[in-house]
Amino acid sequence: MLENPRPFLDIAQSVSGRAWVDRLDSAAARNATAISQRTGIPDILARVMAARGVSLEAAESYLEPTIRALMPDPSTLTDMDALAERLAKAITDNEPVALFGDYDVDGACSCALMTRYLRHFGIQPQVHIPDRIFEGYGPNVAAMDKLIDGGASLIITLDCGTTSDQPIANARGRGVDVLVVDHHLSDHDLPLATALVNPNRPDDISGLGYLCAAGVTFMVLVAVNRTLRNRGDTGLPDLLGLLDLVALATVCDVVPLTGLNRAFVVRGLEVARRGDKPGLAALVLAARVGGPLNPYHLGFLIGPRINAGGRIGDAALGTRLLALDDEHQAMVIAAQLDELNSERQRIEVEAVEQACAAAEAEIGGGEGPPVLVLASADWHPGIVGLVAARLRERFDRPSFAIALNPDGTGTGSGRSIPGVDLGSAVIAAVEQGLVPKGGGHAMAAGVSLKPGDLGPFRVFLTEALAAGVASARAASALKIDAALTARGATLDLLHSLERAGPYGSGNPSPVFAFPAHRARFPQIVGKGGHVSFSLSSDDGARLKAIAFRAAGTPLGDALMRGGDEPLHFAGGLSIDHYQGREQVQFRLHDLARPPR
């Protein structure tokens, strides 16, 4: 029987309306003590590991994750052997191959992985990335026909294809084999592909459904290498050298950073820091990354620039860049993506302001609907996912943003909160005929609407998700790993905590409470309404601190008027690299007044 969460600092309701609880129950706390004693690691690092379910027996291997130890046999994936045999045959026979990918980072990385692999054998594949606005997500008949007319005898779909019955049937009807490599949810009616590898297909029991498409693609390449080796082939590609692309996709697709994914990112970052892929190196320069490359850089600086091509520019730019070996071309494309990203930011800011105003009007002074489904003819279809993410963050509920066309059709994207499966709800809406097309996974989904679909779709999501949202929000207390002081938040501590990373989805960043500290010199900075301040303890120690997008919120208001009042602060720590110097930075999540 699970014990109730233990309160932390007796905070029942913070400024943001949340309770604070200890991330560790009593059993996990005992496990943390045992981990620290056996391994000799600091107590706080042991607490972070124990709170994330690391057992005493697994502690040492957790600190050094390896691909070899965590990689399962690729054949555990349904259809993998058939797919590997067909792709190995294409390589042996030097067949003309075409790739059809998705327009996001995961799709770009998957296509770049496959392109680099095939190029090793002298095969230069055709690559098609669909235009987000004019073609939409996934294979379409016209694009598949174009690849076939270009000579392809084998088409591989990457990060798409699981729900593409008609385009795949059309290609098969023309005598072309189609291999699907994907990770998106699907119903039981799979397309009649030559082989379809997707850990989330209903008949797959591999347990690898947490992989992104690039992770599945890497598994495919491992299987193909094995097939070719068994045939006596030598001089096969070094797959570990491709892990930087897998790491980038894994972080940007927000899949759980546990198990094999965690090893992908840890080892992939080691490859990425070598800078041996011109495209990734050019993006690092364009994004003005400071310090060693880390998951934050991948997710918030590199990924958005790749996505900018698919959102408001040429959708193929990201794939082309990541597959390049020419440094000059890489710098040119990276500069293009950097410019597109700046334009995307401008468009996004305007749309988010409109969406937040509409949401506040809908919620009014009450609780409001459990799901926000907002639509506008003024929103660019390429940024609706970003708008949905901002709505979800601001209003703490699943949110959909839909760009409407003049004819009443629409393209939307949704983002969910932990514990609410948005993708399954959208698939159910498609199955009931409420919308013509849609899908996704638990935390993110996409949908296409016909004229008149918006109202019924909104009603359906509200009814389908109301109970789940209520439960998820009731359980949304802020989980805290440990208490610290400003003086105790040292660079040595942060370097120690990196051993339990990388942090992200499924492996949350540690949250620390700073009891009875003060917010000094608060000021609003940046276009996003951030609040910077200095976190100060009574012994004179200070931390550089920031509360992102807090201006105008209860959190930001409390900071701005905090004055000399001692408050309890909770948030995360990171290393800020500036002009070659490392400094600890505090990112505020919440604050509370000490109970009287």
pLDDT in tens, 143-197: 999 999 999 999 999 999 999 999 999 999 999 999 999 999 876 689 999 999 9
pLDDT at position 187: 65
Q: Are 437 and 424 in contact (CB under 8 A)?
A: no
**Residue-averaged pLDDT of the chain:** 94
- The Cα 581–Cα 164 span in angstroms is 51
pLDDT at position 188: 66
The stretch 61-81 carries a mean pLDDT of 95
- The Cα 139–Cα 162 span in angstroms is 10
In this prediction the pTM is 0.89
**What is the CATH architecture of 69-339?**
Alpha-Beta Complex (3.90)
CATH topology of domain 1-23+477-596: OB fold (Dihydrolipoamide Acetyltransferase, E2P) (2.40.50)
Report the chain's C-alpha Rg in angstroms. Answer: 24
The stretch 52-65 carries a mean pLDDT of 94
pLDDT value at 263 more than 60: yes
Per-residue burial over 132-170, b = 16 or more CB atoms within 10 Å of its CB, e = otherwise:
beebebbbbeebbeebbeeebebbbbbbbbbbbeebbeb
Identify which has the larger pLDDT, 46 or 443: 46
Residue among 79, 332, 362 nearest 206 (CA): 79
What confidence tens digit (pLDDT) does each residue in 526-541 have?
877 899 999 999 999 9
What three-state secondary structure class fits 196?
strand
pLDDT at position 1: 37
Q: Which CATH number applies to 367-474?
A: 3.10.310.30
Which residue is it, tokens 């970003």?
Answer: 386
> What string of DSSP letters covers 169-189?
HHHHHTT-EEEEE------S-
Using 50, 70 and 90 to split pLDDT, how confident is the model at 293? very high
User: Domain residue spans in the chain?
Assistant: 1-23+477-596, 25-63, 69-339, 367-474
What confidence tens digit (pLDDT) does each residue in 550-578 have?
998 899 999 998 778 899 999 999 998 87
For 555, list phi and psi in degrees, rounded to 5: -65, -50
Q: Are 148 and 171 in contact (CB under 8 A)?
A: yes
Listed in sequence order, the DSSP H helices in 71-188 are: 80-92, 105-120, 141-149, 165-173
Q: Are 589 and 5 in contact (CB under 8 A)?
A: no
What three-state secondary structure class fits 34?
helix
The pairing of beta strand 512-525 with beta strand 567-578: antiparallel
* HSE value, Cβ hemisphere, 13 Å, CA-based, for 300: 8
What confidence tens digit (pLDDT) does each residue in 359-416 have?
999 988 778 899 999 999 999 999 999 999 999 988 989 999 999 999 999 999 999 9
pLDDT value at 477 more than 70: yes
- The Cα 317–Cα 307 span in angstroms is 9
Structure tokens at 395: 């209003």
Please give the share of the chain, as a percent, with pLDDT higher than 90: 85
Cβ contacts of 527-536, under 8 Å, gap ≥ 24 = 527/349, 528/349, 529/556, 531/556, 531/559, 531/560, 531/588, 533/559, 535/486, 535/569, 535/586, 536/486
Using 50, 70 and 90 to split pLDDT, how confident is the model at 2? very low
pLDDT value at 3 more than 70: no
What confidence tens digit (pLDDT) does each residue in 75-86 have?
999 999 999 999
Q: Residue 590: is it exposed, middle or buried by C-beta count within 10 angstroms (0-12/13-18/19+)?
A: buried
